[in-house]
Amino acid sequence: MDNRKIIIIAKLAMYLSATILLLFISFLAYNSSNINYKLASEVAMNEIAAQKIESSKINYRNTMLKGWRWFFSSDVGVSSEKYPIIILRSGFKGIKISDTPSLVVWKIDIFKTSVESRYLQDFTCSITDSDGFDIVSSSASGNISAQSFGAVQGTLKISNYDLERLPGDDWTISIGS
């Protein structure tokens, strides 16, 4: 009688292990994208959707960067004689956005109150983040007639990491001469 019980237990163990093996193979076949067409098409659709979302984010960022971003910074009256050059506004926009360092143009609108032209110098534009770190800077000069409006502009080469951060509200343009 003991042999029969051992044989029955051995057969049950064999059937149970065969059943578990078949269930495991079925599970692997169901989750394999090479065998399961429905799963493969779902994975492909998810990848396409992720690529569309990423490209729409990039397009939105590029749209935001290609428009002018102005900073109105003058707190000096135009009739003041103490300040021969009054900066009315300054701003920047992206003109060449690529995988390599991108190109950003900056512009400063100026009113020159002086009757002499000797006060106009080179201007340095620095883009600074909210922590006060200078990210990039460049210099340019302009020829503005006495007692008239004019603009000085230049270009900056900026890394893509910093370029992605430009549309944020934490940027300032500081102007030095």
For 79-99, write each residue's pLDDT tens digit: 555 567 777 887 888 887 777
Distance CA 34, CA 38 (A): 10
- Shared domain for 91 and 38, answered yes or no, is no
pLDDT digits (tens, 9 = 90+) for 96-149: 777 778 888 888 888 877 777 655 566 777 777 777 777 787 888 777 777 888
Structure-token match 């991108």, residue found:
102
Q: What is the pTM for the complete model shown?
A: 0.56
Q: What is the CATH number of the domain that holds 104?
A: 2.60.40
Q: How is residue 30 annotated by DSSP?
A: H
- Shared domain for 34 and 110, answered yes or no, is no
Expressed as residue numbers, the domain containing 57 is 2-64
Structure-token match 């960067």, residue found:
65
pLDDT digits (tens, 9 = 90+) for 14-60: 999 999 999 998 888 777 767 677 777 888 888 999 888 877 777 77
Write down the pLDDT at residue 98.
72
Write down the pLDDT at residue 21.
93
- Of the pLDDT bands very low, low, confident and very high (cuts 50, 70, 90), residue 168 is low
Structural domain count of the chain: 2
